[in-house]
């Protein structure tokens, strides 16, 4: 397909970190292939993703998905991908300093996502949740009681200063990621999020605004938007959600 500009490589069956890239591509109406969701007969599936991870295409060897291919460029790390895509998709500020601040915020999203992941996998990523439930439960109180309020409190303050978007007047890719963060946290930690509602009003308004953007609203209602599940990054285990 000559008119496909971007190829996204991400694990099929989960939203995961790939969703942050997908949201930017969808919001911009960019032409892209979600390669691992294509049938193997069309060069897709897990086989294509594994070939990418084994470095079959030329370019910098990626460590983990998501991976973006744009022409000759092969790029991994969600924040780096969005930093690259932002200006091409009209989702980044023009000013260089503001683009760096967008990256700074996106890297803070990355940090929070790592803590979300480590909440259900506190001992080892290659063990099942069921093998580390006791440790996960021990960690959960600190996550919902301390870390989550600290991260969301930080983003809320950024909005209070800049508003209505994280970088001010214009929406940027990091605002789309903030929507995904709020959606995932609502799914995984409904009680903790309810408790934080009065301290996250600006974040909620931003998330609602993003969800209502026409292309994103269409995407969110489509089959391309997979439901959250207990194989992804945001998992709902009631025992880990603060009451
Ligand atoms: N810092 C990276 C993390 C990438 C990452 O952890 N990817 C996950 C899927 S969401 C993975 O497949 N990791 C494999 C591994 O860490 O071995 C990013 O933000 O993109």
Tell whether the model's pLDDT for residue 4 goes beyond 70. yes
pLDDT of 133 reads 97
pLDDT of 87 reads 97
Q: How far is it, in rounded angstroms, from Cα 137 to Cα 152?
A: 21
What is the 8-class DSSP label of residue 143?
A: I
User: Which of 9, 13, 15, 17 gets mutated to test ligand 1 (max ligand atoms within 8 A of its CB)?
Assistant: 17
Tell whether the model's pLDDT for residue 54 goes beyond 90. yes
Tell whether the model's pLDDT for residue 91 goes beyond 70. yes
Check if 16 has its Cβ closer than 6 Å to any atom of ligand 1.
yes
- Residue with CA at minimum distance from ligand 1 atom 9: 65
CA 196 to ligand 1 centroid distance, Å? 28
The stretches of the chain forming alpha helices (DSSP H) are 18-28, 45-53, 78-89, 96-120, 133-142, 148-161, 173-188, 190-195, 201-211, 214-220
| pLDDT tens-place string over residues 137-161 | 999 999 999 999 999 999 999 999 9
Residue 174 in tokens: 């990091």
Q: Which of 116, 213, 98 is nearest to 158 (CA)?
A: 98
Q: How far is it, in rounded angstroms, from Cα 203 to Cα 112?
A: 15
Tell whether the model's pLDDT for residue 224 goes beyond 90. yes
- Per-residue confidence band for 242, with pLDDT thresholds at 50, 70 and 90: confident
Ligand 1 atom closest to 76 (CA): 20
Max Cα distance, the chain (Å): 52
- Residue with CA at minimum distance from ligand 1 atom 18: 77
pLDDT of 1 reads 45
**What Å distances lie between residue 47 and 17, 52, 57, 206, 226, CA to CA?**
19, 9, 13, 38, 21
Tell whether the model's pLDDT for residue 57 goes beyond 90. no
Q: Can you tell me whether residue 58 is helix, strand or coil?
A: coil
For residue 180, the Cα-to-chain-centroid distance in whole angstroms is 6
Q: How far is it, in rounded angstroms, from Cα 197 to Cα 156?
A: 11
The reply to whether the predicted model has a pTM over 0.95 is yes
Residue 23 in tokens: 């949201």
Check if 78 has its Cβ closer than 6 Å to any atom of ligand 1.
yes
Give the pLDDT mean for 204-215: 98
Residue 11 in tokens: 């694990």
Q: Parallel, antiparallel, or unpaired: how do β-strands 32-34 and 6-9 relate? A: parallel
CA 17 to ligand 1 centroid distance, Å? 7
| pLDDT tens-place string over residues 16-39 | 999 999 999 999 999 999 999 999
CA 213 to ligand 1 centroid distance, Å? 28
CA 11 to ligand 1 centroid distance, Å? 10
pLDDT of 59 reads 79
Check if 108 has its Cβ closer than 6 Å to any atom of ligand 1.
no
What are residue 25's phi and psi, to 5 degrees?
A: -65, -40
Long-range contacts of 135-140 (CB under 8 A, 24+ apart): 136/237, 136/240, 137/239, 137/240, 140/239, 140/240, 140/241, 140/242
CA 65 to ligand 1 centroid distance, Å? 6
Check if 17 has its Cβ closer than 6 Å to any atom of ligand 1.
yes
| pLDDT tens-place string over residues 180-205 | 999 999 999 999 999 999 999 999 99
- Per-residue confidence band for 243, with pLDDT thresholds at 50, 70 and 90: low
Whether the upstream peptide bond of residue 67 has omega within 30° of 0, thus cis, is no
Tell whether the model's pLDDT for residue 2 goes beyond 60. no
| pLDDT tens-place string over residues 102-133 | 999 999 999 999 999 999 999 999 999 999 99
- Cα four-point dihedral sign 55, 57, 61, 62: negative
Check if 64 has its Cβ closer than 6 Å to any atom of ligand 1.
yes
CA 78 to ligand 1 centroid distance, Å? 9
Ligand 1 atom closest to 110 (CA): 19
* Percent with pLDDT over 70 in the chain: 98
């Amino acid at each position: 397909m000559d008119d496909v500009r971007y190829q996204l490589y991400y694990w099929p069956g989960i939203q995961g970190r790939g969703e942050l890239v997908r949201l930017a591509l969808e919001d911009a109406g960019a032409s892209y292939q979600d390669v691992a969701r294509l049938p193997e007969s069309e060069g897709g599936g897990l086989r294509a993703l594994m070939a990418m991870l084994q470095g079959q295409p030329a370019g910098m060897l990626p460590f983990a998905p998501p991976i973006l291919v744009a022409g000759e460029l092969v790029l991994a790390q969600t924040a780096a991908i969005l930093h690259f895509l932002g200006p091409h998709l009209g989702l980044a500020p023009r000013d260089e300093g503001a683009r760096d601040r967008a990256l700074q915020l996106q890297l803070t999203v990355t940090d929070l996502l790592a803590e979300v992941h480590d909440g259900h996998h506190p001992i080892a990523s290659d063990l099942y949740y069921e093998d580390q439930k006791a440790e996960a439960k021990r960690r959960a109180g600190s996550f919902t009681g301390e870390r989550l309020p600290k991260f969301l409190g930080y983003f809320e303050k950024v909005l209070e200063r800049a508003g209505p978007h994280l970088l001010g007047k214009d929406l940027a890719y990091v605002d789309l990621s903030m929507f995904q963060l709020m959606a995932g946290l609502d799914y995984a930690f409904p009680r903790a999020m309810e408790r934080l509602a009065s301290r996250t009003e600006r974040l909620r308004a931003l998330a609602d605004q993003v969800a209502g953007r026409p292309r994103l609203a269409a995407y969110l209602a489509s089959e391309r938007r997979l439901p959250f599940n207990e194989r992804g990054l945001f998992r709902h285990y009631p025992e880990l959600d603060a009451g």
